[in-house]
Structures are given as C-alpha cells and as structure tokens.
Amino acid sequence: MLLCEIAQVSRAAYYKWLNRTVSVRERENQTLLEDIRVLYDQVRGIYGYRRITMTINRRRREDNLPVYNEKRIHRLMRIHDIKSIIRQKRKGHKKSTPQHTAENLMNRDFSASRRDEKWCTDITEFKYGVGKKAYLSAIMNCSPSSRQAK
C-alpha cells in the first residue's frame, strides 16, 4: 500500500472508495461526457464549450429531456482537457504598388527585327499544400522566326 502512503490516504478510506456505489450525478456526468466526446469528434474539435452546450441542449429539447447548464459542461470539458482548436487567421492579400511593378519597356510592341532581340515572360503562382507555393515562368522569343505565320 505504498500508493496510500504517497497519497496520504488510509487503507480503510481507499477500500471504502473502491467499494462505493456510483451516484446518479456521477452516472449523468459520464453519459454527458460521452455525448461531449462524440460531438467533439464529429466537429473535429472546433467547437468550444458554448457551442457544445448549445448543440447538446438542442438535441435534449427535441427529445423532451432537461437541459444541462453551461457551467457543468464547461467544468467537465476542463477536467478532461477537452479544448476547442483555434484556427489561425488568414493573412490579407497585399496589393502591389508601382514601386513593385516592373517598368513597361516594350509598350506592347512585340515585333522584333532580329533574333534574340525581345523576350517575353509571365510568372504564375500556384498554391498547394498548407502554405506552400510554386512558381511557373513561361518564356517566349519575339523574333520573326519563332512566331507562327499569319
């Protein structure tokens, strides 16, 4: 009975606790906790105690059962370390200003008199995964030999 000594509990108190009958309130708390965990798993952990209380009480009203107090659900969730997952806010899009934009040197004149005189390019951004980006750059030679005949 080393554990009784460590916890500073008498052997008689331990065996009395071991052979006790579970109260109605404890059984209610166990069934309520099971309902909380089922709902928490269904919504993948994004509900906090307020929305869980609202959802469970809505279901109980439909079945004509008494509702639970928000504080009781909050206490059970806190004791069993059930917490909502807080999502990170998305960063807003930053518009480019003229200081970030390249100067228009070609002025929409894409005809070239000789080979390798003018090159055109465009960059496209692809988003994939979580916060990952890839860039695709297409390059085209504007010389007469590389263009198709009209």
pLDDT digits (tens, 9 = 90+) for 101-112: 677 778 888 788
Of 121, 109, 116, 122, the closest CA to residue 144 belongs to 116
pLDDT digits (tens, 9 = 90+) for 8-55: 999 999 999 889 898 999 999 999 999 999 999 999 999 999 999 999
pTM score over 0.75 = no
pLDDT of 106 reads 82
Distance between CA atoms of residues 34 and 134, nearest Å: 44
> Residue ranges per domain, the chain?
2-79, 98-141
Q: Quote the mean pLDDT of the chain.
A: 87
pLDDT digits (tens, 9 = 90+) for 75-87: 999 999 999 988 8
